Every structure is written in C-alpha cells, then in structure tokens.
Structure 1
C-alpha cells in the first residue's frame, strides 16, 4: 500500500529513532528491503472511506516517508469502516490504539493528530526511551504506548540534550534510572536489568 494512505493515531514520534530507522532502510538493497517490510507489516485498522489508521509502527511509517520509500505492507487488525465517525473514535480509544499527546506529553484533542505520517512531530524523550530500551534498560512489551510512558518518566528526570554526546550520556543515565525503584511500575521494568525467571 502507499504510505500516503496511512493516517496516524498518535501525534508524535522520536525523530532520532526515526532517523536511525531511515538510515537502516536506505542501506538495504531492493530485495532485502522488500523482505524486511513484508516481515514487519504496519498494523492498521480500517476507518471511514477505507482509510488505514496506524495502530503501531508509527516510527517505521515516518522513516519510510522520510526515506522516500512510498510502499509498505499493512496488517489489518480490524475493519471499522462501517462505524460512524464518533463511534470509530470511541472504539480506538477503548482499545487504547490512539495517543493524542504532544511533544511535551500534554493530552490534546483528537484533531491534533496529523492527517498523514509526514505530519508527526518530534518528542525527543520518545527517542530517549527507545534507545534506553535498546541498551537493556527495560524490556519491550506489547502494552500500548509503553515507550511513551517511559518518555514521560524521563521528561522530568533528565535535562534536554543539545548534541550527540549529551544524548549518549542521557541514554546512560536513562538506563540507570530504568533500573531504579522509581521505575518499577512502568511496563517492561526489570530490576537492575535482569530478566525475572
């Protein structure tokens, strides 16, 4: 399907994470890229006018857009195209598929969600949360918008960085904070980075 057909169900992404994904995608040859995208379809629900609404993998969708890659594979979780507008939104809210929070972690109206993935804005702490997870700070979990919970946790604890060196230091600090008792209620928490048996 065309990337232009995808409509986000969140307002922000972490652009450092998006850029890392974009570079990874562009480093692949055509065959490898097709195999990768086929193995990582973008989960969607179908809404009004048969529009595909993204329920996960917003970072991948934005990375494809930024990389000029116009096609992707989608995996339809549910067809809600017969629902009237308000009922559609009630359903995606009830299923925790929508996250209309801005780059400061403030809840906004559903109208704040952009019409296309190209309109997703940067929440730097969302990138920090992803890099901390990848560094072993916490475990990946299927809980909806788990990384945003971690982003919110870091927003009040780690000062904003201005360069790559400071970002790396923020990731290190984030890993230590992820293992602290303060983080124990967050999804994917592991005490001192050890998986529980």
Structure 2
C-alpha cells in the first residue's frame, strides 16, 4: 500500500474546474465538527489520490469535494496518496498523459469542455456546478450506485442538466432530487455508470 503523505492544502492542485458546492458544504460541516484526533483519522481513512507533476507539484485526481471542503473549513493540511509520478513529463506531454489516463476533466459548470488553462491553480478556486451536487444527492439516496468509472458523477450531472430545471430554493432542490431519482431509474439512463434498474 502506498505511503500517505501530509501536504499543505495549497500544494494540492485540482484537475477539474467544478465541484458541487452543496455537497462541499455538507462535508465542510462534517469536518469542522470533528475533534483534532477524529479529523486526523478521517483524513487518513480517505487520502486524496494525487499524481506528481513537474517541480514536485501534486495534482488531485479524485476527492475534489473533500479538498474544497477542507479549504472552506480552513483546515490547512490533508493526507494524499501518490498513484503515479509523471514529473519527468514536461509541458503538454504531462497533460496529454493525464488525459490519456482519464485523470483530467476541464469541463465548466455548463458541461462545456475547456483547455487545461481553465483549471484553477488551487482547490479554493473550484467553481460551483449545481448539477454535480444533484448527482451526489441522488447517488446518496440510492438513485444509482457509486462506481469507479472515470467521471461518473460528471456523466450523471450532464444527464440531469438537460432534464431537471435549475432550482432556487431548498424546497425546489428537494423536488429536483426526487425528480432526478425517478429519471435515474428510467431507460434513458441505462448506459450511465452505476445505473440501477427500476425496482418493482
């Protein structure tokens, strides 16, 4: 098992543009309420997987919501697990390899693809995609199953983006979750990762 490394949060660079801020806020509240010992145990239990790039920069390839929640909670350090060292790759070669391994996803809050220059330098710069939160809440409610498929939540977010009207109030969000749970079990969602057949 790879060794865990404790890093300053500002040393961890994102590989995507967005996060679902409702999901981030849930995590922030959770971490902010933990004692120092419980926080340390929780972070060790869920290390952020990173790739080492040029000049010893560490790029998160998952757990962006966790990282942003820690930032919002003013928790300055996190534990990471190095899954690959690509530090010998320079310039575009690094990002080409990251893309080939499906470790970078520079889509904005509208689901539009950008160049890697659009990715913020720090996790604190991640912008809100409300449909990422919707996808997370639907998954947590059992609408689909968690899967290791790359960018599964992005795929679900884009699926809901074209079918569920954007909400402006908590009650509208709750209604959106219920609508999305129903949609997640529909034939339209059949090819999405984690699809769960409708229960009789």
Which TM class, normalised by the smaller chain length? Answer: over 0.9
Partner of 1:3: 9
1:176 aligned onto 2:170: no
- Report the secondary structure of 1:73's partner residue: strand
Q: Residue in 2 aligned with 1:21? A: 27
Q: What's the TM-score, normalizing by structure 2? A: 0.96
Q: 2:123 aligns with which of 114, 117, 120?
A: 117
For residues 41 and 172 of structure 2, the distance between their equivalents in structure 1, rounded to whole angstroms, comes to 35
User: Size of the alignment, in residue pairs?
Assistant: 194
Partner of 1:139: 145
2:103 corresponds to 1:97: yes
Give, in whole Å, the separation in 2 of the partners of 1:193 and 1:13: 30
- In structure 2, the CA distance between the partners of 1:187 and 1:84, relative to structure 1 (3 Å rule), is same
Structure-1-length-normalised TM-score: 0.97
Instruction: Give the deviation of 1:27 after TM superposition.
Output: 1.2
* Matching residue of 2:92: 86
Q: Deviations over 1:93-149 (max 9, x none)?
A: 000000000000000111000011011000000000000000000000001110000
Aligned counterpart, 2:4: none
Structure 2: runs of 5 or more not aligned: 1-6
Give me the CA root mean square deviation.
Answer: 0.9
**2: CA distance between counterparts of 1:32 and 1:25?**
9
Deviation by residue 1:26-75 (Cα, 9 ceiling, x = unmatched): 11111111000001000000001100000000000000000000010000
Paired residue for 1:61? 67
Structure 1 residue runs without a partner (length 5+): none
- What does 1:28-67 correspond to in 2, within 5 Å? 28-67=34-73
List, as ranges, runs of 4+ consecutive aligned residues in structure 1 with deviation greater than 3 Å. none
Moved more, 78-87 or 9-18: 78-87
- Give the C-alpha shift of residue 192 in structure 1: 1.3
Q: By how many angstroms is 1:193 displaced?
A: 5.4
- Please say if residues 136 and 193 of structure 1, whose CA atoms lie closer than 8 Å, have aligned partners that are also in contact: no
